[in-house]
Amino acid sequence: MTQQSYAILGSGAVGGLYGAMLARAGHDVHFLLRSDYEHVRDHGWRIESHWGDFDLAQVNAHGSVDTMPACDVTLVGLKTVNNDSLPSLLSKPTGAGGVALVLQNGLGVEKDVAQMIGPERVFGGCCFLCSNKVGPGHIRHIDYGRIVFGPYQNSPATLAKAEQICAEMTAAGIEVQTSDDLNMVRWRKLMWNIPFNGLSVALDASTDKLIGNESSVDLIRDIITEVHRAAGACGASIDSTWIEKTIDHTRTMKPYDSSMRLDYLAGRPMELQRILKTPIDTASAAGVAMPKVQMLYQMLVFMEAVRRTGGA
Amino acid sequence: MTQQSYAILGSGAVGGLYGAMLARAGHDVHFLLRSDYEHVRDHGWRIESHWGDFDLAQVNAHGSVDTMPACDVTLVGLKTVNNDSLPSLLSKPTGAGGVALVLQNGLGVEKDVAQMIGPERVFGGCCFLCSNKVGPGHIRHIDYGRIVFGPYQNSPATLAKAEQICAEMTAAGIEVQTSDDLNMVRWRKLMWNIPFNGLSVALDASTDKLIGNESSVDLIRDIITEVHRAAGACGASIDSTWIEKTIDHTRTMKPYDSSMRLDYLAGRPMELQRILKTPIDTASAAGVAMPKVQMLYQMLVFMEAVRRTGGA
């Protein structure tokens, strides 16, 4: 079977890392870049990874989708705050019938894409990794790295397509597995993302600080418990041992600034809608309140407004 | 009837203001001072008040309770974080059978004093005022000012004593009223203190910022609603219109840094136990959870630990 071609929309800490690994394995990979387009075009990628460092000198770098070819698989790694631009970005790389694998954070992100290209061509996944873009064309991947993904709509054809992508990623050195329960995968990731992204901003603290204090761990546990309960009401049955596992995994994680904290510190918009508001609304529609998650959201909206306007 | 003598334990924004007004009216008033003892002894009080500025040159200033006489009424205006020292402070000024009027913030503060001098000699009250000590011997009282107080145990004798104190304070120019429902008075004050003290620290914002943003007002309303519900379960029946009234009153208040925010900014311990933890525990014992208040407490405990120890 010939290797599939890949388009990478959003070549940051996630898309840059996985795309570079696929390119290293011989795939035809096309990266859409913004601020570091010229740097990557001229100098390629510098990947520092606990899976092994490497440089990739020759990169198909694009400053616009206009020059991108249609690809078999489009990885969507954009920040969800930019999803307004998705329709204009997706049409070229998916133009010949290719599929999209949405690796964005939060809930409801596949739905956005499914409305554009049809649900049977949409896959979604969560990335469990500590990775940041630390400079132009420079990714630093310090811990973890696993992708868990699956079809937005399960069918023999979509499940087979997922296995094909999974096999290619595995061959490229990526730790990856498929799932036929994308909803569960998303909610399980939210059990980490909501407390640790949110509190890292609200309490101005990296993960090691949050996990090193009894009071913040109590709060983290309360928030994870709310998310776990909401997940169950939303059809995502997750074993309750995952509440403590989520905390314990973070204890063994290297000190890390979450993506939301990096966005906040850098003055970029935070992914408040997809990581917090959509889960709150989805749980609420299923009859479950998440008061502490809601409070976290209310605080973060205030903090973003203060930063933007001085609080008015 | 001869004028009663007053001892002021904790001569800060509250005790300093009311004590100076009583002294101006001719009462024998004895102030216990700490950091600005020598300044007040030598230069007296400088009171800036929206009720009228005045200076008080001759002040009975004490650097220790050892020199204080027994008084008819002891006003307790100390921060509750110093309540460990109350037994040693109260014995002299209340030594001849005088009463204590506890003007501290939070819940459960009269109980501490009642265990020392007996419940029939204890009164408690809440001060609704915007006042800060802005320098040695210098009080700035910018808005409001009313005291609402009453007996810890209602009886004809204690209610009559409350009226006597109230009449003297009124004659001294203080806006004051008595109540025979101290529990209700305390919970109604908590409806302001919990959201505005707590969020002013957690969100690093003065009251005008908190009240000027839709998301923080939503959160404030949620927190006040939790406190209102807890109050009802704890025997304090407060009309539900007080939820919006508490917000509306704050809208018309001059921009103000709460006492907890000033304590936090100055590196002093915050009154987390009496303003947040005791209400949470009291409500919990009455079967009512306050999840957002609890989250606020958890965050503030973390913030205080980080400031003290770097988060360990």
**Identity (one letter) of the amino acid at B298?**
Q
Task: Give the whole-angstrom CA distance, residue B97 versus residue B89.
Answer: 15
pLDDT of B312 over the 90 cut: no
Out of B189, B245, B254, B292, which one is annotated catalytic? B189
Residue (of A54, A57, A8, A55) closest to A29 by Cα position: A8
Give the pLDDT of residue B257. 84
Residue contact A305–B209, C-beta within 8 A: no
User: Residue B253, exposed/middle/buried by CB under 10 A (0-12, 13-18, 19+)?
Assistant: middle
Nearest-Å Rg of the Cα atoms of chain B is 19
Residue contact B295–A222, C-beta within 8 A: yes
**Identity (one letter) of the amino acid at A199?**
L
The 10s digit of each residue's pLDDT in B24-36 is 999 999 999 999 9
Give the pLDDT of residue A1. 63
Question: Is B79 labeled as catalytic in the residue annotation?
Answer: no
Residue contact B298–A216, C-beta within 8 A: yes
Task: Give the whole-angstrom CA distance, residue A11 versus residue A33.
Answer: 6
Flag whether residue A78 sits within 8 Å of chain B, measured between CB atoms. no
pLDDT bucket at A312, cuts 50 / 70 / 90: very low
CA distance A298 to chain B (A): 5
The 10s digit of each residue's pLDDT in B72-82 is 999 999 999 98
- Section A150-167 average pLDDT: 98
Interface residue of A213, A222, A296 to substitute, partner B, most B CBs within 10 Å? A213
Give the pLDDT of residue B310. 60
CA-to-CA separations, B65 to A134, B7, B36, B86, B90, in angstroms, rounded: 60, 10, 15, 11, 8
Flag whether residue B301 sits within 8 Å of chain A, measured between CB atoms. yes
Tally of CB atoms within 10 A around A51: 13
> Residue A209 is nearest to which of B296, B298, B306, comparing CB atoms?
B306
pLDDT of B256 over the 80 cut: no
Flag whether residue B305 sits within 8 Å of chain A, measured between CB atoms. yes
**B216 token code pair:** 């923080």
Out of A92, A189, A277, A292, which one is annotated catalytic? A189
- Domains, in order of start, for chain A: 6-180 (3.40.50.720), 183-309 (1.10.1040.10)
The 10s digit of each residue's pLDDT in B125-181 is 999 988 989 999 999 999 999 999 999 999 999 999 999 999 999 999 999 999 999
CA distance A297 to chain B (A): 9
Task: Give the whole-angstrom CA distance, residue A33 versus residue A10.
Answer: 7
Flag whether residue A215 sits within 8 Å of chain B, measured between CB atoms. yes
Flag whether residue B132 sits within 8 Å of chain A, measured between CB atoms. no
